[in-house]
């Protein structure tokens, strides 16, 4: 590939991802309008204050939230309930303390309402359930510390979660959970399931950061594109923080992690225009195996565990029929009958690659020897190797 063609490719990808970043920002505002009527659900406590942001490594300014617990039945846990209740809220509902407890954590550009169906289906299958409202603009370090506080308050209310808690994090939610478990060490979690989590970061974050360098006198608010959540997901940043957390926390080194990684055969299978742009960008830059937001190799937890590969785009992981077989067949958790026992649909796992502690504690993610990728590496856009996917 000649140099001019490489540069044209980089330029086209830059423009595509700039458009995607703008679209994502406006899409979030459009789908999360301000609530002008109705009241928040009644909380069980007045709110425990917690200040997050400003920590070492965090890109989020300091801000104080209040942690509130709400016992929300599946019928009460709705999109409106999530929007009407403030950041810091914990929604939960239990059968009894002796059952496995599933805690769902959403990713970037989302809120807890993405789990409304899964929350209901998991509870119907007999599991205790919870989800949390995090700050959509905060990075995974600040949100991880907020989540640690939410776990502390929840544990006081439901002491039986020790040893029974499975955290299920979609996208950046997996990183939020990892930080929280490293921060709140008294908690004994059974496992962490990451769904398309960028354990190796996403090169799109590096690219977006370069595209949105706005001049000081720009009429466009920098925060429209430059939220800490976006800036924290560069490969170098994620790798640095995850490696430090793993090395400093024995609890994290002992944590069982199941990585659900996804890829899609072509952009034609993606309904979201934002993910179509992301898929095109990653493919053009030499990462044909991706889910529209994160290259497939970067979705694997770099310190062992179990990897499960599915055919899904970045929005396609949050499905109960994907999660149930992981809980039953991989983690071997009991699934007691719920109040109305139903036959769950079969799992949609395509391959299961068990790698229990078989990989060394060193990430295999490193630059590949490829002319285009070498150029991009020298621009510090990519941090890991996908050469095996081209064989």
Average pLDDT, the chain: 77
pLDDT by residue (tens digit) across 322-379? 999 999 888 887 655 555 443 333 333 333 333 333 333 332 222 233 333 333 333 3
Q: What angle do CA 166, 101, 145 make, to 5 degrees?
A: 55
Angle at 275 between CA 27 and CA 105, to 5 degrees: 70
Answer yes or no: is pLDDT of 17 > 90: no
> Residues of 221-233 as b/e, b for ≥16 C-beta within 10 angstroms?
eeeebbbbbbbbb
Within 8 A by CB and 6+ apart from 129, the residues are 74, 92, 93, 94, 101, 102, 103, 104, 119, 122, 123
CATH for 261: 3.40.50.1820
Provide the pLDDT for residue 329: 87
Sequence-ordered strand ranges (E) for the chain: 48-52, 63-71, 89-93, 101-105, 128-132, 165-170, 189-195, 257-263, 306-311, 351-354
| Domain range enclosing 345 | 3-390
Q: What pLDDT is attached to residue 176?
A: 98
- Per the DSSP assignment, residues forming a β-bridge with 193 are 168, 258
Burial of 268 (0-12, 13-18, 19+ CB in 10 A): exposed
Report the DSSP pairing between strands 89-93 and 63-71.
parallel
> Which pTM does this prediction carry?
0.77
Tokens of 11: 């330029």
Query: Which residue is it, tokens 């070498």?
Result: 374
The pLDDT of residue 137 is above 90: no
Per-residue pLDDT tens over the stretch 223-259: 444 456 567 888 999 999 999 999 999 999 999 999 9
Specify the higher pLDDT residue, 18 or 171.
Answer: 171
CB-neighbour burial class of residue 57 (10 A; exposed 0-12, middle 13-18, buried 19+): middle
- 3-state class (DSSP) for residue 170: strand
> How many distinct structural domains can be found in the chain?
1
Q: What is the pLDDT of residues 141-191, one digit of tens each?
A: 999 999 999 999 999 999 889 899 999 999 999 999 999 999 887 788 999
């Amino acid at each position: 590939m000649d140099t001019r063609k490489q540069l044209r490719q980089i330029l086209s990808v830059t423009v595509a991802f700039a458009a995607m970043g703008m679209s994502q920002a406006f899409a979030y505002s459009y789908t999360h309008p301000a609530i002008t009527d109705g009241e928040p659900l009644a909380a069980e406590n007045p709110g425990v204050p917690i200040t997050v942001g400003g920590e070492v490594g965090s890109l989020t300014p300091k801000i104080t939230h209040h942690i509130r617990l709400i016992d929300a039945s599946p019928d009460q846990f709705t999109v409106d309930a999530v929007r009407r209740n403030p950041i810091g809220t914990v929604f939960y509902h239990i059968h009894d303390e002796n059952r496995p407890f599933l805690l769902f954590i959403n990713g970037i550009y989302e809120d807890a309402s993405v789990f409304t169906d899964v929350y209901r289906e998991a509870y119907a299958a007999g599991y205790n359930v919870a989800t949390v409202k995090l700050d959509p603009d905060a990075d995974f370090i600040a949100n991880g510390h907020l989540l640690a506080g939410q776990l502390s308050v929840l544990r006081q209310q439901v002491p039986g979660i020790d040893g029974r808690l499975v955290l299920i994090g979609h996208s950046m939610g997996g990183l939020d959970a990892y930080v929280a478990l490293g921060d709140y060490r008294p908690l004994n979690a059974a496992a962490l399931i990451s769904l398309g989590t960028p354990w190796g970061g996403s090169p799109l974050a590096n690219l977006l950061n370069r595209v949105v360098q706005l001049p000081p006198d720009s009429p466009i608010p920098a925060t429209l594109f430059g939220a800490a959540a976006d800036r924290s997901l560069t490969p170098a940043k994620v790798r640095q923080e995850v490696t430090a957390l793993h090395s400093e926390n024995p609890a994290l080194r002992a944590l069982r992690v199941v990585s659900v990684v996804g890829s899609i055969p072509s952009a034609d299978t993606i309904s979201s225009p934002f993910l179509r742009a992301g898929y095109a960008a990653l493919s053009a830059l030499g990462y044909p195996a991706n889910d529209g937001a994160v290259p497939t190799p970067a979705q694997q937890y770099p310190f062992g565990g179990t990897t499960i590969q599915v055919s899904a785009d970045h929005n396609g992981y949050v499905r109960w029929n994907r999660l149930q077989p992981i809980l039953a067949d991989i983690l071997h958790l009991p699934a007691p009958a719920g109040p109305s026992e139903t036959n769950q649909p079969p799992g949609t796992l395509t391959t299961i690659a068990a790698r229990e502690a078989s990989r060394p504690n060193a990430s295999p993610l490193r630059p590949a020897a490829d002319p285009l990728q070498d150029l991009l590496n020298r621009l510090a856009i990519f941090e890991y190797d996908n050469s095996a996917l081209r064989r």
